Every structure is written in C-alpha cells, then in structure tokens.
Structure 1
C-alpha cells in the first residue's frame, strides 16, 4: 500500500518539470530571473529585521544600566578600546560603599607592632613606687597649670588618705580639645542600632557613656593602704550621695566616679569587652578617654569606681581574699561552697565559691594575666623588664606553696563572687611561652564561655563590642589593629580547647 502511494507524491513535481521544459527559452529565463529577485528580496528583509532587533536590544540594555549604578554621557557614551575595538561603558558614581563584616587573613599579623614594648619599658620602674610617681606627678602637673588650686592635702590625708584637685579651678578646662567629648553632644560610645549588643546590659552602656562623656568636676588621689594609690575623677552627672557611710570614708567619691589608669594599660578596655562576650560578667566597665591634663592628651583607660570593693574605706584596703598557692590548690580539691554546702571550719576554704576559680583561670589564660595567680612569674619565661624580675619575685618559685595570691577581690556584700580588677594582660607572649600555671588544679570551666570559643564567633562578637568605644578603636589603629589583638586571643583559645580535651576538663554551667 505504501509503495503504491510513493509515485503519486512526485507527480505534481514531474508535471511542472515537463511543462517548464516545453516552454520557450525566453519564458524560462523570465521565470528564473523572477525567482532570483524574489529570493534576494526575502534575504535582504531578513537581514534588516535581525539588525534592527539587535539594535533595539542594545539600546534597552544601555537604558537599564543608565538607571542603575552607571550614567551615560552623550559626548562619550561609546568608549572604544584601542586594542580590541570593543565598546564599553565607564561607571561615574563613586558613592557605592562595600562593607565586609568578616575578613579572612591568610597570615596572622605580628602583634609586636601594636603594643609598643619600648613605651612599656619606659613606664615600668619599680611597681608601687612607679605608680605613686605617676599619680603624684600628674597631680603636680595639674597644680602648676592651675595656679590657684583649692586644696588642703594635709587635712584630707589625715582624714581619709585622699587629696583633691577641684576641676573648676583649673585654667586648662576651656582650652582646645579639653574634654571635648564631655562638652559636645556627640558621644564617643557609638551605638548605631536601636540597642547595644545583647552581652552588654543597659547598666553597662549607661556607665560606659558616663566614663567617656561626663564632665570632670574633681580629681583625687586615693590611697589604698599598701596598694598603689588611684587617680579618681568625679563626673558632673553624679547624684548627691545618699549613703552617709560612703561620705565619711575619706570622701573618695561623693557620686559616680572613674579610675584613670596609665595609657599603657589599655588591656583594661579589651578585658572588659572580652569578659562580657564570654558571659562571665566579672569585670568593671571600662572605656578609653582623653584628658587634656594627662599624658599629652593620649587616650587613657578609665574604669568604673566601685565603692563596694572597699567596705571600710579605700585607706583600709579592699575586700581581698588572702590565700597562698598551697591553700588555693587545696580549696580546688575540696570544691568549697559547691552546691551551697558550707565547708568545715578547719578546711581552709575561703569565702569564694568553687566555680569562680574556673572562670578566673579561663579569663586570665586568654589574656595571660599573671598578677593574680602567678605574681612571681613561675609558669613562663619572663623578660628582664617584667616587674616580677625587677623586684626579684621570680626567685621565690622554689617554694611555690607559700607564694601569696594577690589582687583577689570581692564586693563587701557578696563574698562568694570575685571581681576582676587590674586586668593587665599581655598580647606579645607567643604560644610557646604561655603561663599554664594559671590552669593548674582547674578541673571545671564555664560552659557558656567555652561555647563562645568553640563556635568560631569570638572575632565577630569582639569586633561588634569594641567598635562601640570609638576612642579605643582609633587608638589601636582601627579595624586592622583590633584584628591583630583578636588574632592573639583566637590562637590562645585554640590552645585552651586542646588543653581541655587533653586533660579531660569538664565544661559545665556555672550559675552559682
């Protein structure tokens, strides 16, 4: 059936072919010429249509780009590459900002370029003697500038161990850049969102703003018994004291105050933010601030003054826990006050809860703060310019059990919890010279802090937190300088996590 239909498919073509052959030659030539003309017209029309469609598409693309980040000028809208002949469009808008929240550096930066070790060596002399010279020298500078300072050092010292300089009498108050932060309405604590990061409480932010922006009314040198004196300022926003006992204690601070430290002690500010990011909440708020009458307007760390650390007054000293290294190790084994169980009278336990030592050890190890648990520098190789070597404390390491712990403080009304003060850390200590003595005897560490170290968000949180303090951020060289400091903490965190796994240290929730 299929084969019988096959010849019929070509029958019309054969009939036309035979008719075309029988036509005269002139008619055949005319037919061929007409077919060629029609074909040529069809080809030309197709080429013109495709060219027109392409021109419209190019024009539409140019219009779309001109409404976005680019703008075309009619004078030089089509720029031509000399070598390739290709046309391109040049962007003219320069107000496009690209922000990267996290940066990945291939090689950690060298930290010694940011801590200025020479400046540290020049300032450090003889521990307490150097600190007394610092505070007394700065007060003497203010007195010379003032000319008519209202003071009565003899009477103040006999009453409470303080001497005051009334800021209203200082001639340098209204000179350029004299506490411009306090005179202007722009705070150096910058918070661009509706609220601060969640690890900072509203009270923390309030105290930070006071320390950074409050107008200074009074500066006083406060004696603390055997400890070096403190340089304390009182701010204008302070309220009248309602506690009569605090007024009688040497009148160290009648309202809200801050303690001014040396410019080389900027670790205080970093330690405060690290403490809050880790969820420990054991340090006092600290910011960086410039004072016109100190250190040639260099930024100084300012720590919040807490009178509860001195229940009997600054002259009588703070609420210090007195323990030797041997007694400290014994209290760790006994887990003093664990589960609120009162220890036996002859146990040798202090008033501090067992969990506090784990938090202190973790915090001190990350910052390599040795002036609490290892004042004699027995757990690492100290340098010749370190205080423990200059004062000869390093020679006491032979009898370690009798070495006294220092700077272990708590509030007068809360003896179970420590307060981390005098947080002088070291960022220039390499991983092969870390002080592992700070972790000796520790078998439990806080879960919340360890999780922050494990989830790789330590850098992100520290950047967000430290960015709030504009003066500190700029004094460390901006993002680049802050990244160098965080590099050191991240490397020590990795070492600490390895130590936890190797020694079987438990990670538990510490809510006591």
Structure 2
C-alpha cells in the first residue's frame, strides 16, 4: 500500500510540473517576439532565431524528460528479502562451482631464457613456470611427451639409442598422472588390506612403479630366505638368497637376481628414499622394502622382531677390483668431480675424455637433488665438509672431518653404474638424515651443479609431493604400519618438502 501511494504521489507531482513547464515555454516565446521587435528589427530576428530555437529545443528536452526517483526510494527487493521477524536479510547467492580440473594442483613446464654461464658467454637455459601435471591438455609441443627441449641441457647425439630404450616405468611416468594430485582422506588408505605389498591389477596402478619394481618388492617382502652370505668389509650388512630351494649355489642365485641385502634397523629411511626416487622420476635407486625376518638361517639379531630395510641386490652393478674401494665403479676425487661438471660430459665433451668418467652430465644433477632432499652425505661429501656433523658421526669418529681443508684428499664414494649402461648412475646407501635441521643443510651436495632434472623440479613446485608419496608408501604395509600411517608420515614428508622449497630458492638465486 505504501508503494502504491508513493507512486500516485510522484505521478501527480510530475503532471503539475509539466503544466508549469509548458506555461514557462509559452511566456519565453512571447517575450522573445516583443524583445526582438523593439531592439533588433526583423533582420536580426532572422539571424538570432536559429540560435534561440536550438536553446529552446535543449530546454524542452531537459524539462520534459521523466524525473528520476530519489535514491532512498529504490526498490531493494531483488537483493534483500523480509524475514519472518520483520527484519531484512540478504538472499542467498547462487555460485557456480569450478570444474573438477580446477582442483588439480599444477606442476611446471619450462620456458626458455638466457643466462650467463661460468665461461661468461650467453647460453639458453630454462626457467620454470606453472603448468598442469602431466599432459592432460594434450600432447602438444609444450607437453612432457612432445617437448623437444630438455631441462637437462644439451643432448648427447650419441645417446639416442639409450633414450629410445627407456624402461617402461619411465615411459609410464610421462603419462597423464594428474589425478594423483587430488585431495584424499584416511579412507584412501584402508587397514583392511593385509597384503605385504598392496598393489595389484584390480587397484589403480601407480604409474611411477614399473611391473619389475612390483615383482621385486613382492620378492623382497615375502620371498623365502634360502641362503646367506657376508658382504666383505660391511659387517652391518647381510646378503641373503630368496625364493625356493634349488640346487644352485648362493652366488648363482644372486647372479639370477634373487638376492637382497638386509641392512641395519636405523637405515629404514632407505625405503622412503626408494619411493621418493620413483615419484621424482629418477629410477636410479634399487627396490627396497621393510621386512621383519623370521628365518632360522639368519643370525638372531636379524630375526629379533625389529623390521629392517631389505634392498634388492643388482648383479649388474660394476665394482672396482680394489677391495678397499669396491663401493665405486670409478675412482673419483672432489677436484676432478668439480672439473667434469664444468665441461658438461656427454654434451660438450666426450664421455671418455678427461676429466670425464663416462657418466652423462645430467646424472649429477639427479644425484645432487636426490641427496639434498635426503641429506645423504656419504657419497658426494663423506667427510662432512658441507655441514656441522654430530660428534658421534662416523666422519668425526674416523677423523675424516679433519681432512676438509685439503680438497685434493677428498674422495667420492658410492659412485656406481651398471655394466650394461655405464653412462647412468645407480643410487645405493640412501638412508640419509631424516632429522637434519633446516639450518644445517649440506649445500656442498649441490656445489657445481648448473642444471636439475625437469620432472623432479616440477614435482617439488607442484605441492603434489605429499599426495604422491603417501600413495606410494602405502604399498609397503610393514613400512606404513611401523611409521604410524599417514598422520606420522606426513610429518616426515613435510621435512623433505621444506628442503625442496629451500632447494628451489637456491635454483632461483643461482638462476639455474
């Protein structure tokens, strides 16, 4: 009723206003005629009439247009509704949800840029910017599959055949695995699956684990222990044969790939390292599981009920004949290592020419990134020169730390390759330091490194590492249970993620 009266009142006011305006116009015309005859004569009337008519037209249009309603009287019922209590309330707004793809975390792709190398000349490298994980948008020229430029720098023309012979797991990693970065709940990790290795064709496959990885994990987790042997100069490690009883010897069994190394209980981080290696797309470490052993063949301390990491024994790894240096495929000192990093072996220098040792330049970037995330020092920095070690560390007890002042004396260890593929490294002894504080990280591990692998950097930037690792670690039931499941493993993963953020900042600072 109020609104009807208000509109009637405004209409009456408008009619009165128009009558007044029309009378005013008539008076103006009459005044114009009288003034023009008295002052200007008929000839000036002809000159001034168009100007007066223009002014009159504008005035009429302005006066006769409908008057706007006052702002305070604007009808607000479209945005507010009267509640049952007589108060105004805001009506609910309908929001359109984004598509499912919007919730997928991005990874990165590379963009070419120019930076100065150590030689002072400009060369084309890569910087990183966000891109969706995998190639869900299609295998275009910017996807992982179609990209011709690699983050690892210049290609080695002679390595085409080896690149063509990539393992199935590396090819699978390049597929669209964006779905693995979606959010998850505790129900995604049920306790009802009691298998030792929880993966099978009826479950969604993990693209970063190959069929060969899974077969070896099943063997390591459940294979019967049928023989054992000591590893020379490694009193804490026991080699055992797995499978069924056969007439072959222990050595023959190991040559057939049915042996493993049982390591110390404190080396449980090796299991985490194996899954990290696969998730990052390196595929350089050996399959590893956590297992509680019960065989009577083994010494008591190995079957005391505490789970131990069990690492597959690779018979193809090349070892030096020197028993004092058998944990290397090539002898390598720190000074030579820094020199070969500068010459880019395999792309700008021949793999067999000094100071190169037959290993592709890109392999050192993989190793450095892997070791930095795990804080593995017993490979590139066995003397603990790049951080402050604890007094109980072996490098301190064995007086290795005192040699840091003379770089000529510093040796690298665990630099291993396979006989069938000597240009690619194999990562062993990856237990690292899970509790190393962020203010005591070993940056010596990345010294001299001028490029890092594209996929690994992409995973670190994506925010997907936790999701990928939890799903991967869940496959190893004993490791999962011994570490307290998802809630406890998240804390461990966050430590590695923090190291990844620090490394990414290092990459930005160095403009790599």
Aligned to 1:353: 360
Aligned to 1:24: none
Aligned to 2:441: 434
TM-score (norm 1): 0.58
Aligned to 2:138: none
Aligned to 1:218: 227
SS of the aligned residue for 1:444 comes to: coil
- Alignment of 1:309 onto 2:317: yes
| CA displacement 1:268-324 (0-9 Å, x = unmatched) | 100000000000000000000001242511110000011111468997935522111
- Structure 1: state its 5+ residue gaps: 1-98, 104-184, 242-246, 506-512
**1:390, distance to aligned residue in structure 2 (A):** 0.9
Aligned to 1:287: 289
Structure 1 pair 317–250 and aligned structure 2 pair: CA distance change class (3 A): farther
Q: How does 1:473-488 map to 2 (within 5 A)?
A: 473-488=480-495
Q: How does 1:321-470 map to 2 (within 5 A)?
A: 321-338=330-347, 342-343=350-351, 345=353, 347-470=354-477
| CA displacement 1:161-200 (0-9 Å, x = unmatched) | xxxxxxxxxxxxxxxxxxxxxxxx9630112653431000
> Which of 271, 279, 287 does residue 277 from structure 1 map onto?
279
8 A Cα contact 1:249 1:313, kept in partner: no
Structure 1 pair 318–249 and aligned structure 2 pair: CA distance change class (3 A): farther
Structure 1 pair 390–446 and aligned structure 2 pair: CA distance change class (3 A): same
Aligned to 2:270: 268
Structure 1 pair 356–312 and aligned structure 2 pair: CA distance change class (3 A): closer
> Which of 101, 107, 115 does residue 184 from structure 2 map onto?
101
8 A Cα contact 1:240 1:255, kept in partner: no
- What value does the CA root-mean-square deviation take over the aligned residues? 2.7
Structure 1 pair 212–498 and aligned structure 2 pair: CA distance change class (3 A): same
**Aligned-partner Cα distance in 1 for 2:339–2:455:** 26
| CA displacement 1:63-112 (0-9 Å, x = unmatched) | xxxxxxxxxxxxxxxxxxxxxxxxxxxxxxxxxxxx97269xxxxxxxxx
- Structure 2: state its 5+ residue gaps: 1-181, 187-192, 295-299
- Alignment of 1:198 onto 2:221: no
- Alignment of 1:187 onto 2:185: no
8 A Cα contact 2:241 2:254, kept in partner: no
**1:215, distance to aligned residue in structure 2 (A):** 1.2
Aligned to 1:233: 240
8 A Cα contact 2:241 2:253, kept in partner: no
Aligned to 2:47: none
Aligned to 2:307: 299
Structure 1 pair 443–477 and aligned structure 2 pair: CA distance change class (3 A): same
**Aligned-partner Cα distance in 2 for 1:344–1:423:** 28
Structure with bigger helix share is: 1
**Aligned-partner Cα distance in 2 for 1:458–1:218:** 38
